[in-house]
Structure 1
Amino acid sequence: MRDDVKGFVASFLAEIEAGNAAIFAGAGLSAPAGFVDWANLVRPLAEELHLDVDKESDLVAVAQFHVNANHQNRHALHTAIVNAFSANNPPTANHRLLARLPITTYWTTNYDKLIETALKDAGKIVDVKWAVPQLANTQPRRDAIVYKMHGDVDRPDEAVATRDDYERYASDRGAFINALAGDLVSKSFLFVGFSFTDPNLEQVLARVRITFKTNQRRHYAIFRNRTRRTDESEAEFEYGKIRQELVLEDLKRFNIRPLLVDEYSEITDILAEIERQYRSRTIFVSSSASDFAPWGEPVVTSFMRTLGSALISAKLRVATGMGLGVGNALFTGALEAIYADRHGHIEDRMLMRPFPQYIADEAKRTEVWEAYRQDIISSAGIALFLFGNKKVGDDTVVADGMIREFEIARQHGVTCIPIGATGYAAAELADRSIGDGADGDAALLDALKELREPRENLNELIDPILKLAAAARKIRDLYTCLTH
């Protein structure tokens, strides 16, 4: 991964973890979902005016010309917006990646509903603002706010589309300008799919720059490197490259750091790496025990308590389903470390989800437990598997729930660390991982082999576990397309 990409990922991830990140989405984010850009939106209007939209640089003016030619009647423009953006197209991978991150503020000039749909699909309560009166209302227990500063496809009559609309924006929708200015001051934005030709945003950026001068918050924008278009001459291509360089340099006046990619697919890779690193701060601990041999229950519970404390001290967020026999010991150690540290909120350091036991209907219980497992495991980047046995009658058997949690973790791309030395399900999972070559990770394979060896002293496992967790949190050099 290129150094500039590594730097961006680290910096923006820090803003996400601090709760200071925001997204600004332009038309380029929605284009892969099948929605048109502005040029194709106004293309049929331009054709009515005998204009070639490919020769026009001011597309807002084209929309205005069409309204003027129809005696200020906007029906055709409204119809074009509805036809272009009302389709129930699913969000793209990039929308879903952004929606899964703990980002609470989204701004867009798009009319479509892709952002709010992705957020709802991620299980979040979304507060959508596309009209000024909505700014004064608050959706109860909202997880994210989506500001649609140019309106929504459901109300094309209120969409910002023509030069008249832009000229009246400060008087008609000035509250959006104030809200955006406030967010630009207090949050670090990532601009995705945005061309920086919108006069409203330029006005807000200028206001912030003049007010804060050399004390502006840093923002980021992802651009695709200028490529040669079909039927474009060498001279035209060189001109385009020079202009892009000048635009990117100009953005530095607003403390916006550009990040260049060669292909749009690289944006997905970058966002996926941000999500992976964010999730890797959370370690899911899958454990259960009814039989504590050969160590005995006091030794096993003492080990789990020490492990819980060590994971918190290593700055990991612990997620657990409070496994039978050992879950409370893990929870106790983690809680003690949180209180000793006296930094942050308990819910920021630990995710505790005890499994509901009193569901009489077996099919319903299985369904609820599956959803529960999917939810908690998908929040983690690392999964630790310990012990894994239960009583069935008088027999001690492998805990099938732990096997299922391992399978779910793999489905979600979680780094799995089964500690075979603790026996039962953990041993089976360690043997499976070793047999699979630890998915091509030689260091993990060697560590799992070493952790498969029997231990008299369980506490000898803690340091290797912490080292494996630390290694899993490092930036993966997965994206060869970003190394050139």
Structure 2
Amino acid sequence: MTDRDTDDFLASYLKELDENNAAVFIGAGMSKAAGYVDWLGLMSPVAKGLGLDVGKETDLVALAQYHLNANNNNRHKLSQLLIDEFSDLKNPTENHSLLARLPVQTYWTTNYDRLIEKALEAGGRRVDSKYTVNQLATTRRGRDAVVYKMHGDIEHPTEAILSKDDYERYSLTHGPFITALSGDLVEKTFLFLGFSFTDPNLDFVLSRIRARFEKHQRQHFCVMKRRTRGKGESKASFEYAETKQKLVTQDLMRFNIKTIFIEDYDDVTRLLADMDRRFRRRTVFISGSAADYGAWGQSATEEFMSKLAAELINKNLRITSGFGLGIGSAVVKGAVQQIYSTSHRSIDEQLVLRPFPIGISDEAVRAQTYKRYRDELVAQAGIAIFVMGNKSVDGEIVSADGVRLEFEAAKARGLHLIPIGSSAWVAEELWKEVTGKIESYFPKDTSKISALMRPLGKMVKNPNDLIAPIIKLIEHLTRG
């Protein structure tokens, strides 16, 4: 996995994520990492029952057909095999969780398990799972992720796609799935993970698209482990396998699928984690509250926050905020005006505001609700800005503990933390804390970031003078 290949891939796929054009196709390799069998493992007892060695077979679908042929087309044993192997409720892997965190709305899979659905639901997303033709015609209300299971689901093992007969009849029995996948492959950029590209259904769909859009096929990507020589493997056997892999990747280019090679399966996790970090760095969480505007005054503070929000939008960044007292309305004003100044932008894409629920009388329930609320807001971002941080309690101006809690939540999530120290109150305390231990908050490029952070703690009469240094620091962080 070269840096250039990785960076080119990440830049291209992140752009598609930004524009809601990204999709993921998950193969058996992803489920194997969770403890489920792959096709080789699934068909091993079938091959043994036929007197064959599964290790010598390359057409595993044929094994399922051979079994049916030998048993008067009775599927009971195959269905029971699926139940035995996939009914255990295994937990999603870190890779599933990372995929679920990305703003992908379309997931395709040939797997029977429910790992990706569980990962999405654990992340608070509403999943619309499709594993029968009739389900394609219905829509789950409020869905924000669709999982297309083109070979079926473990809850319906008798309908799973397993044998040659199933594959050969697929266009008749599951034609709408082919149509839906064809449309997504034309309109979206796919990332294939854990997939071997031996599935005849996918090959059929890709071939149809290539015939229709030969010179205008959309760019797709697949992640594949580079073939290495196994322990005890002969040189001739390794060279044969290496040559075969090169030919397969060259053939994938016919469908405009570029292969991103990794050296180890752990690289998949690192790749997805890097993608997640880079995407979230395009979202800035703004935390702050003000009952007392200090030396700047209310008018200058609101103008500063409005202009800062506008500049963040102008840099094509996304803003998320809890609508802090005395701060949130200015953020909304600047962001909305900047968004509306450009016709191709929409508020939903670049601004997420969630006013805190008030009026919860039970202290324990209120604390629990606020914590979850903050965690969900922070989880969307990669950079956090902290401004002022005070509130009025019984007529007295005190530090806002909510801003401190949001700082701790952002710190726990690994966000880049940018306190505006010159705005005083909690933000000043946080600026001193961050700059005092800058190497622990920014272990990479410490000296550069320290220099960029320093101006944010200096007293200024006009807070607008801070906008340029803030944007300069954010631009540095988003590039890193």
Q: TM-score, normalised by structure 2?
A: 0.96
2:120 alignment counterpart: 119
CA contact under 8 A between 1:225 and 1:260: conserved in structure 2? yes
Query: Which residue of the partner structure matches residue 146 of structure 1?
Result: 147
| Matching residue's letter, 2:442 | D
Give the Cα–Cα distance (whole angstroms) in 2 for the partners of residues 47 and 274 of structure 1: 42
Q: Secondary structure at the match of 2:111?
A: coil
Query: What is the deviation of 1:443?
Result: 2.1
Aligned ranges for residues 468-479 of structure 1 at < 5 Å?
A: 468-474=473-479, 476=480
Whether 1:464 and 2:464 are equivalent positions in the alignment is no
In the TM superposition, 1:56-71 aligns within 5 A as 56-71=57-72
Task: Percent identity, please.
Answer: 47
Deviation at 1:430, TM superposition (A): 1.0
CA distance in 2, matches of 1:295, 1:136: 58
Kindly state the Cα deviation for residue 353 of structure 1 after the two structures are TM-superposed.
1.1
Please say which of residues 226-235 and 156-165 is displaced more in the overlay.
226-235
**What residue is the counterpart of 2:452 in the other structure?**
447
Residue of structure 1 equivalent to 2:276: 275
Contact 1:5/1:259, CA 8 A, preserved across alignment: yes
CA distance in 1, matches of 2:128, 2:357: 31
Q: In 1, are the aligned partners of 2:455 and 2:469 still within 8 Å (CA)?
A: no
Displacement of 1:168 in angstroms is 1.4
- Residue 259 of structure 1 deviates from its aligned partner by 0.6
Q: How does 1:1-400 map to 2 (within 5 A)?
A: 2-400=3-401
Once the two structures are superposed, the pairs formed by residues 400-419 of structure 1 within 5 Å of their partners are 400-419=401-420
Query: CA deviation digits over 1:83-132, x for unaligned, max 9?
Result: 11111111111111111111111111110001111111122221111111
Please identify, of 402-411 and 445-454, the stretch whose mean Cα deviation from structure 2 is larger.
445-454
Amino acid of the structure 2 residue aligned with 1:257: K
How many angstroms apart in 2 are the aligned matches of 1:135 and 1:186?
Answer: 18
Cα RMSD (Å): 1.4
Whichever residue aligns with residue 317 of structure 2, its letter is: L
Would the alpha carbon gap of residues 99 and 397 (structure 1) be closer, same or farther in structure 2, given more than 3 Å must change? same
Deviation per CA, 1:188-233: give whole Å up to 9, x if none: 1111100001111111111111111111111111100002223321
The amino acid of 2:475's aligned partner reads A
**3-state SS in 1 of match to 2:457:** coil
Q: Distance in 2 between the 1:432 and 1:456 partners?
A: 23
Deviations 1:119-176 (Å, cap 9, x if unpaired)? 1112222111111121121222221211111111111111111111111112211221
Please identify, of 383-392 and 253-262, the stretch whose mean Cα deviation from structure 2 is larger: 383-392
Deviation for aligned residue 1:392:
2.8
Q: Secondary structure at the match of 2:333?
A: helix
Tell me how far 1:300 sits from its aligned partner.
1.8
* Matched residue type, 1:374: D
* Cα distance, 1:394 vs structure 2: 4.3
Amino acid at match of 2:20: G
Structure 1 residue 55, shift from structure 2 partner: 0.9
Name the CA distance, whole Å, in 1 between partners of 2:299 and 2:204.
66
Does 438-447 or 124-133 show the bigger shift?
438-447
Structure 2 unpaired stretches of 5+: none
Distance 1:177 1:188 in 2: 17
Q: Is the 8 Å Cα contact of residues 288 and 388 (structure 2) preserved in structure 1?
A: yes
Identify the residue that residue 480 of structure 1 maps to in structure 2.
none
Secondary structure, counterpart of 2:218 in structure 1: coil
C-alpha distance after superposition, 1:235-277 (max 9, x if no partner):
1011100000000001111111111000111111111222222
AA at the equivalent of 1:108: T
* Structure 1: segments with no counterpart, 5+ residues: 477-484
SS of the counterpart of 2:12? helix
For residues 300 and 206 of structure 1, what CA distance do their matches in structure 2 show? 59
Assess if the C-alpha contact under 8 Å between 1:420 and 1:448 holds in 2.
no
Higher mean displacement: 308-317 or 460-469: 308-317
- Alignment size in residue pairs: 475
State how far apart, in whole Å, the 1-side matches of 2:381 and 2:241 are: 43
What's the secondary structure of 2:341's corresponding residue? helix
Is the Cα contact below 8 Å between 1:420 and 1:428 reproduced in 2?
yes
Aligned partner of 2:244: which letter? Answer: R
Q: TM-score w.r.t. structure 1 length?
A: 0.95
Contact 2:107 2:147 in 1 (8 A): yes
Deviation by residue 1:377-412 (Cα, 9 ceiling, x = unmatched):
111111000111122334332211111101110111
